[in-house]
Chain A
Amino acid sequence: MPKQFLLDLAPFNFLVTTDSSLVIKNLKQIYGDILKPTNSTTADYHVQILKSGGLRAFVRQQARFFSDQYEPFKPLSHKQAYAFLEWGMNYTVAANEMQHVIVHSAVLAKNDKAILFPAPPGSGKSTLTSFLAFNGWQLLSDEMSLIVPKTSTVMPFVRPICLKNDSIELAKSWFPTADFSTIACDTHKGDVIHLSPPSNSWKLRNKVVEIAGVVFPNYNKNKELEIYQLNKTQAFTQLAENSFNYGVIGNVGFQTLTSIIDKVDSFEIHYNDLKEVKLFLEEDIIK
């Protein structure tokens, strides 16, 4: 029998249905007491991870993801079921939510000032995110920033940080007491793990934060810190390219992104030392 939970991930609540004990174990590990019994409040979205039946129940078991009744992706190996659920939740938000400008970006804040880190996969964004989140910064999001239209504020959408390949061991050695999910091996992104951010980030998940800067990170193990300030056009183009729904929400999206770029400074950074990055962010942007 599948079990149901309610995940209170302000600004959206998810009703989660699953018959996988692996998924339930990870949900408890990552979300703790945010995982609530159903019927405690309305749910915005229903997501399901179900084990495939028939012969597949015995041989190379698969997991299927449903956004309510709709199955947008092919099944994955059951070992990847939890990561599949997290990605499916991102998909569901990106496909339905049109009242925020959604940018593929991490968002972290310090002293009530937020920095957006828009970046494609492989740029070292999540490693940077976890480093900052566990060193005094507030995590608002690792994957998608929800910018409130016609303002320069961002709404938290706190979720676990998705770490890949080499950064898994690194993160485990840095934060030995943190809550990690089980490892999902051989996904399309390689091996991945989900890491629950510190409790402070969870506590602050209902409050919008003012954006103070935009930083496009590029990890390169052979490069010491290099910082380039971007002009408005470069910064806008890169930000728009990373937006999920900029095309759909049209003019509102354009106005919001341009006014943010107008208001705050944007940088591209190349680095191999996270401590130097942190120092730069704290001394030059947050101040």
Chain B
Amino acid sequence: MNKLTSQLFIQLYKAPETALNLDLGQWNSLIFILRHHQLLARYQFIFQRAGIFERLPEYAKHHLTNAKILSHKQRQQVFHEAKSIIGAFGFNSKHKIFLKGAAYTLSGQTAGVGRIYSDIDILVDKQNLDEIERSLVVSGWLTEQITKYDDNYYRNWSHEIPPLRHGGRGTVLDIHHNIIPIISGRAPNVSYLFEQVEITWDGFSVLSPSAMTLHSLVHLFFNDDVKNGFRDLLDLDLLIKNNCSDYYWTNLIQLAKDTDFNMELKLAIRYLTKILQTPIPKNVLQELKLPSSPAIKIIDFIYLRVLLPSHPLVNNRMYNLANFMAMCRGHWLKMPMHILIYHFSLKGIRSAIEYFLGKTFFLEDDTNHKKF
């Protein structure tokens, strides 16, 4: 099968009409790679918007249409789920702010069109977590079986509680009380985010476009998991193009200062301009420019790879090394050294034992599982 360059994905995103020049062999690889990154529906939308979708080969149209149908269904479902989640909360928690993918869709951002997501994220008041969990259980949201260590990890160090799954519909709900792990020592004062709440036409709370962008870039640059790096970079590009007012930028810059995510904002601007040439006001570019240094060379090595598509059919040299380095960097940012060593040695021993004795070794039997 044909190997593709990562440049092709950027070119098709920025100049969709060049898709008319692809041969079937290239389409075959393209469809596999876009499917792998859950980007089929987004590219369908891009081709449609450019008015060339109907002129694509049947093979491409078939698979892009499948993805479009699935993403339409998900879109409908998100509105329905959001309503039932808010209902299940009752009067618990003053703040119920939808985040990430669900928020893009609920607030009508272009980043939400054709966006596929596996769970719904919501930000709430930390002091109300217990009541929230109890009231959600009554509505059929249950904690999945996880090990005691993971449960403690979530409850003591993380910024969210263990994910809940709806017994009937299978939807997964992530309840956050902050946007990055508490243990990192860098979790911001959430009141800055609570000040940024906007209400959508349908009455759902979401973050303002600036805060939404900040959360999206923090998620990308303060994280050990970058496997959807390219998709996340496109999200950021779409958020910025959709919200280009002066206020959007001043608010974003101020918010990054208040929450101490200046560095993450600078990194986002750097790679958006380097990879996608995202249009960014000159004064913003000036203010957020990163001076070159040996450290930034290493960061460049990582992000100029992990923010591009990765798949056996894309040429992305040394992706695995860069991905490993991104994982190390993410863990390093998230945990102080002594916790990191403890976490890794425990996880290491556990995976060794699971390797020999089976994946379910640490899970309690169903018979011992807590029944509600």
Contact = CB atoms under 8 A, between A and B. Distances in A.
Chain B interface extent, by class: 20 to 34
A55 B356 contact: yes
B1 A38 contact: yes
Interface string A227-261: 00000000000000000000111100000000000
B73 A248 contact: yes
B24 A98 contact: no
Given A38-B1, A68-B32, A70-B36, A248 B27 contact: no
Interface in A1-55: 15, 38-39, 42-44, 46, 54-55
Contact of B36 (A38, A43, A68): A68
Q: Could you tell me the dominant secondary structure of chain A's interface residues?
A: loop
Interface stretch (B59-67, B238-246, B295-303): B59-67
A69 B59 contact: no
A44 B63 contact: yes
A239 to B, nearest CB: 20
Contacts of B36: 68-70
B73 A74 contact: no
A70 B73 CA distance: 22
Nearest to A249: B69
B165 interface: no
B359 A98 contact: no
Contacts of A70: 36
A8 to B, nearest CB: 14
B356 A43 contact: no
B66 A74 contact: no
Interface string B66-82: 10011001000000000
A214 B73 CA distance: 28
B69 A46 contact: no
Contact of B65 (A39, A43, A99): A99
Contacts of A99: 62, 65-66, 69
Given A42-B28, A44-B63, A99-B65, A248 B70 contact: yes
Nearest to A38: B1
Contact of B32 (A46, A54, A248, A249): A46
B66 A250 contact: no
Given A69-B311, A98-B66, A54 B28 contact: no
Interface in A56-83: 68-70, 74
Interface of B: 1, 24-25, 27-28, 32, 35-36, 59, 62-63, 65-66, 69-70, 73, 311-312, 355-356, 359
Given A69-B312, A98-B70, 19 more contacts: A15-B1, A42-B24, A42-B59, A44-B63, A46-B32, A54-B355, A55-B356, A68-B35, A70-B36, A74-B359, A96-B63, A97-B66, A98-B65, A99-B62, A99-B65, A99-B66, A247-B73, A248-B70, A249-B69
